[in-house]
Structure 1
Amino acid sequence: MSVKLSGPLADRSSWSTEECSVGKAMDVVGSRTAMLLLREAFYGTTRFDDFAARVGVTDAVAAARLKKLVALGIFEKQPYREPGQRTRYEYQLTQMGRDLFPAVFALMQWGNTYLQHSGGPLALVEQGTGAPVTVAPRTPEGERVAVEDIAVRVNLDWLQPQG
């Protein structure tokens, strides 16, 4: 089972993966620490000490990864100040960061299915009804699409010169 490569992509030896969006995304969030920081942000974590503790990394590792994610536009820093304390910063997801929700929770869904017993420790549910929520390829109209029914084609808009 795989997606269908169509048009000039059908001959895989005739094109390069140099500009691959998956590769570029992995350059941004491809580390375990980055994905777990995103998980924690989706769970509501905003403060540095909480990120480091919840992800289980040293302050130096958390600081370096959060700095990179801020520089890339995934998080933004917002100042806050506790009474009698110096100004510190919270880390808030930007729209770019929030748009990673399906990717992070697709990994959770896969892990629940294949790496955990009884569906894993946490489940995604619709807040109002408690109905299970899944991440899956869908058309703009909301219809679920099986992997074997997906075709990959050249994006002609991407080929147009930028100006």
Structure 2
Amino acid sequence: MRRTTRDALLDSSCSIQRSLEVVGDPWTILILREAFMGVTRFGDFGTALGISTDLLSDRLTTLVEAGVMEKRPYNEPGKRSRHSYHLTSTGKELRLVLGALQQWGDRHRLGDDPPSSERRSRTTDGRLSVAFVDESGSAVALDDVDFVPVTDPH
């Protein structure tokens, strides 16, 4: 019997569902965007995003507990110790997710405004696109991609 989308949403083995438990909130994605642009301090996240301190604290805690970000203590002269927030290697892998969201938004949600940034190679400065890539390294057309349920190996 083929599983329905609803079944997949209720299935805790669904990787999409488990991922959304960490990054499924729009504020979380925006926090990650700022982190990829070099923001590390709580106050700087708050200023850049206009987010309440309670909400920001909650989202950063979730990211730290999930291993996406790590807290590092720092001291400014004459002030109490605080923490900065840095992407872990796990968090850095989300660059792909943000790139895919940006690419989709550039194509379908721009309106009258130009994109605010581009995806470019640090090595060549060439423009980049996000794509599915097969085992040989070749890009695969979106209409050739299927999400297929995995049969339980047990």
Is TM more than 0.5 here?
yes
Corresponding position: 1:120 with 2:115: yes
Corresponding position: 1:68 with 2:29: no
Corresponding position: 1:142 with 2:141: no
In the aligned structure 2, how far is the partner of 1:113 from the partner of 1:65? 28
| Residue in structure 2 matching 1:27, options 3, 18, 21 | 21
**Partner in structure 2 of residue 83 of structure 1:** 77
Equivalent residue letter for 2:139: R
* Runs (4+) off by over 3 Å: 151-156
**Partner in structure 2 of residue 106 of structure 1:** 100
In the aligned structure 1, how far is the partner of 2:114 from the partner of 2:126? 15
Deviation of 1:155 (Å): 3.9
Query: % of aligned pairs identical?
Result: 34
Larger Rg: 1
Equivalent residue letter for 2:120: V
Superposition RMSD in Å: 2.1
The number of residue pairs the alignment matches comes to 149
What TM-score do you get using the length of structure 2 for normalisation? Answer: 0.85
User: Once structures 1 and 2 are overlaid, which stretch shifts more, 127-136 or 116-125?
Assistant: 116-125
Deviation of 1:52 (Å): 1.0
Structure number with greater CO (CA < 8 Å, separation at least 6) is 1
Q: 1:57 to 1:111 in 2, by over 3 A?
A: same
Unpaired segments ≥5 residues, structure 1 = 1-7
User: Once structures 1 and 2 are overlaid, which stretch shifts more, 110-119 or 35-44?
Assistant: 110-119
Equivalent residue letter for 2:83: Y
Deviation of 1:140 (Å): 3.5
What TM-score do you get using the length of structure 1 for normalisation? Answer: 0.81
Q: 1:118 to 1:54 in 2, by over 3 A?
A: closer
In the aligned structure 1, how far is the partner of 2:136 from the partner of 2:86? 30
Deviation of 1:51 (Å): 0.7
> Is the contact made by 1:35 and 1:104 (CA closer than 8 Å) also made in structure 2?
yes
**Which whole-Å deviations, capped at 9, do the CAs of 1:87-145 have from their partners, x for residues lacking one?**
11110111111111101111111111111146512111123433111111112332101
In the aligned structure 2, how far is the partner of 1:99 from the partner of 1:128? 18
